[in-house]
Structure 1
Amino acid sequence: MRKWSFIVGGLLVAVLLAGVVSNFASPHPDGLDSSLLEGCTLDTRGEITGGSCPAQQEQEHEIGGPLTDYGIAGLDNEFLSTGLAGVLGVLLTFAVAGGAFWLVRRREAGYAPKAGGPRDADQPGTSATSQG
């Protein structure tokens, strides 16, 4: 019971952080975005106005998707869109990881040694040479 309380508590904290706190994350670009902007001049809104950098070659992804740009496509409320995308990401990650752990646990349980099975050849009295 204590294990499940810990897991549910951790999941609730992760959902809260992803759903609410993620909206207050820094608006500044992360490390990858910053490195792609090196060599370019930016205006106050972060738009490229000149220079030469790899970010100028950026294009929209051809496939798209429901969770593009850290939000849910089709929702006009940015706070809600970002929060729901975070919650959905946490729940999907939890489901995939939980399923993987469950499969590994089930598989390992099948490899338990059976009672009365063959002994190791290194044990005394089991090899042909020890029988006198």
Structure 2
Amino acid sequence: MKKSSWFILSGLIAALLLAGVVSNFASSHPDGLDSVAREGCTFDADGTITGGTCMAQGEADNQTKDSPLADYGLRGVGNDFLSTGLSGVIGVVVTFAVGGGVFWLLRAGRRDPDRAKQAA
């Protein structure tokens, strides 16, 4: 196996481990943008805005809220740890497949000079 193949495979394994396991330990607190958007409002224990004025008052549901991978989880899986891990793994695999497919197409086009001449 070539060095580049080992490098790609080890990167894929690292990404799968991070997405499948470590993603479950990410903070549940709002990130920077959410935190700034909530400044100036008051919230109840459930996180519902009860008063004040802030950007978060104008937020709406995401258009993909009903998709199978919405809200960092896999719909239909009852275990939150497994749901989050599987959604991360699916995201890595799809991203790797799309990226690999694009690179494969680009490389195949460069290797066939006759086909490149016909396209021009």
Normalised by the shorter chain, which TM-score bucket?
Answer: 0.7 to 0.9
Q: What is the aligned residue count?
A: 112
Give the secondary structure class of the aligned counterpart of 1:94. Answer: helix
Distance, in Å, in 2 between the alignment partners of 1:67 and 1:32 is 22
Structure 2 equivalent of residue 67 of structure 1? 69
For normalisation by structure 1, the TM-score amounts to: 0.74
Structure 1 equivalent of residue 96 of structure 2? 94
Task: Say whether 1:11 aligns with 2:12.
Answer: yes
For normalisation by structure 2, the TM-score amounts to: 0.81
Distance, in Å, in 2 between the alignment partners of 1:55 and 1:90 is 30
Structure 1 equivalent of residue 106 of structure 2? 104
Structure 1 equivalent of residue 84 of structure 2? 82
The superposition leaves residues 33-53 of structure 1 with CA deviations (integer Å, 9 ceiling, x where unpaired) of 222212212345544332122
Q: Identity, % of aligned pairs?
A: 58
Distance, in Å, in 2 between the alignment partners of 1:40 and 1:55 is 8
Give 5+ residue unaligned stretches, structure 2: 115-120
Distance, in Å, in 2 between the alignment partners of 1:48 and 1:66 is 28
- Decide which structure has greater helix share: 2
Structure 2 equivalent of residue 117 of structure 1? none
CA 1:109/1:52 → structure 2, altered by over 3 Å: closer, same or farther? same
Give the secondary structure class of the aligned counterpart of 1:50. Answer: strand
Structure 1 equivalent of residue 28 of structure 2? 27
